[in-house]
Amino acid sequence: METNTGEFMLSARDRPENSSDPDLTAANSEMIYRVFYSKAKLKAIAQTSALLAGFAMVAMVEVTLDNAVPYPSILLVLFSCVTTLLVIVHLFSLMIATCILPNIEAAVGIRKWTSSPHNKFKSQIEVAWILSTGFGLVLFLIEVALLIWIKFWTIMDHGPPQSVTIDSEHLVTDSPGPPAPVNNNPSHKGAMLAAIIASVAFLVPGGIAFIYFGASFYSKLANHAREIRMSEMDKIHEKRLL
């Protein structure tokens, strides 16, 4: 909201819509639009990525892995990989954003739209954007689901404990003691049910909806941008014909 209205006020006074303003010909306006668009995108990336990378690291530090609980390998592998990927993806976006932003800001500061590097780094900005807003958010969703599994695995019933198969004669003497509480964990059914429902009934459709809408969004926005540009081009052509 800030002061964007300020310029519109000032210009409304002395600038009719199709004025001969040297900076605001259709072609120029398209270019300036791209500069502002890249700047707004990179700013959004920098903010979201720093926040989510921080949350991912806090989750890694604070989660408590119980020494006596037989976590399945696949869960641990997935958790460590998703956390690592999440941090890599967001730090990568952050690096791209903080590298290109100062150049664009300085170019905006002296109004040399052509000296802004947003055109040369078009694909990198796009990659950072998709990594941060698309891939990064989906990874964040998966991270939350894995956290729920790790939390609830602690209070689940893990079937006959692994130590049974290894030292079996040791089992005879005092097995009723230690393994019993593991085997009869009082809330194992609820934990299993909760983790399954949360992942299958909510996260899977949620993730699919996320990806579907994200992709449709992206194509719709691209279409919108193309249409706007097309109509601008048409206007220029018409003018030239007149």
Footprint (CB under 8 A) of its own copies, residues 22-41: 22-24, 29, 32-34, 36-37, 39-41
Q: Is 79 exposed, middle or buried (0-12, 13-18, 19+ CB in 10 A)?
A: buried
- Contact between 200 and its own copies by CB under 8 A: the answer reads no
Instruction: Reduce the DSSP state of residue 22 to 3 states and report it.
Output: coil
Smaller CB separation from its own copies, 43 or 236: 43
Cβ proximity of 193 and 153 under 8 Å: no
Smaller CB separation from its own copies, 212 or 237: 212
User: What is the Cα–Cα distance from 5 to 13, expressed in whole angstroms?
Assistant: 13
Write down the least CB distance from residue 242 to its own copies, Å: 20
Q: Which residue has the tokens 């989906």?
A: 138
Size of the site for its own copies (CB under 8 A): 143
Which residues inside 214-233 make contact with its own copies, applying CB under 8 A? Answer: 214, 217-218, 220-221, 224-225, 228
- Contact between 236 and its own copies by CB under 8 A: the answer reads no
Report the 10 Å Cβ neighbour count for 37: 13
Write down the least CB distance from residue 208 to its own copies, Å: 11
Per CB under 8 A, the list member of 27, 75, 215, 233 interacting with its own copies is 75
User: What is the Cα–Cα distance from 110 to 115, expressed in whole angstroms?
Assistant: 10
- Contact between 234 and its own copies by CB under 8 A: the answer reads no
Which residues inside 89-128 make contact with its own copies, applying CB under 8 A? Answer: 91-92, 94-96, 98-103, 105-112, 115, 117, 120-121, 124
Rounded to 10 deg, the angle between the 188-196 and 136-153 helix axes is 170
> 77, 84, 78, 90: which is closest to 60 by C-alpha?
84
- Contact between 175 and its own copies by CB under 8 A: the answer reads no
